[in-house]
Structure 1
């Protein structure tokens, strides 16, 4: 795994109920967090963590965690539900000028 874990790593680990340390699983979890951030960025949403030391908004944090929960594990019976919740939150954020990229916002 890369030496640097995303700042949401510990929250994501709790969210997926992972209680043990495994370098490969930790790497996969960190990659999912980064993928969630990339997906939000591609969708036009701000990712403050890439541009400053500010904390993510609670809604961006929640979106990242929902993405991770939707994509974690092969036999996840709740994957579809978490994926739908992620997409619903992402869609709501995308109509808010507070979260959309623009001249006043930087990535």
Structure 2
């Protein structure tokens, strides 16, 4: 599969996956892209949209929490990870450091 997001391997580890299936790889990659889109729509850094730029560690953590919350159908921890993602997204949204258009140090 080509076009994997730069966080793909980290996400694969985060969901504790050892699969080698192209369709599941695409699903995992799509979740990463959805997380980036959600952060961007929420008004957070435009850099969250691009898989070519370097993310801050907090943006990376938010993306991985989103993936963990949405991976699998019978994930008993989905609600907990979803809550953690929302809490981190809320904190980032009140920080001028992470609002679109502002530069930040990594």
- TM-score (norm. length: structure 1): 0.89
The alpha-carbon distance between structure 1 residues 39 and 94, as it changes in their structure 2 partners (threshold 3 A), is: same
Distance between the aligned counterparts of 2:46 and 2:10, measured in 1? 17
Comparing 27-36 with 47-56, which one deviates more in the overlay?
Answer: 47-56
2:92 pairs with 1:93: yes
**Alpha-carbon distance between aligned partners in 2 of 1:32 and 1:61, rounded to the nearest angstrom:** 13
Instruction: Provide closer, same or farther for how the CA distance between residues 49 and 73 of structure 1 changes in structure 2, counting only shifts above 3 A.
Output: same
- Tell me, what secondary structure is at the counterpart of 2:28? helix
How many correspondences in the alignment? 103
Distance in 1 separating the partners of 2:82 and 2:69: 5
2:6–2:51 CA contact under 8 A, matched in 1: no
Who is 2:14 aligned against? 15
Shift of 1:51: 5.5
The root-mean-square deviation of aligned C-alpha atoms, in Å, is 1.7
Q: Which residue of 2 aligns with 1:71?
A: 70
The equivalences for 1:1-107 within 5 A come to 3-48=2-47, 50=49, 53-102=52-101, 104=102
Taking the aligned partners of 2:16 and 2:46, their CA distance within structure 1 comes to 25
Unaligned runs of 5+ in 2: none
Conservation of the 8 A alpha-carbon contact between 1:45 and 1:100: yes
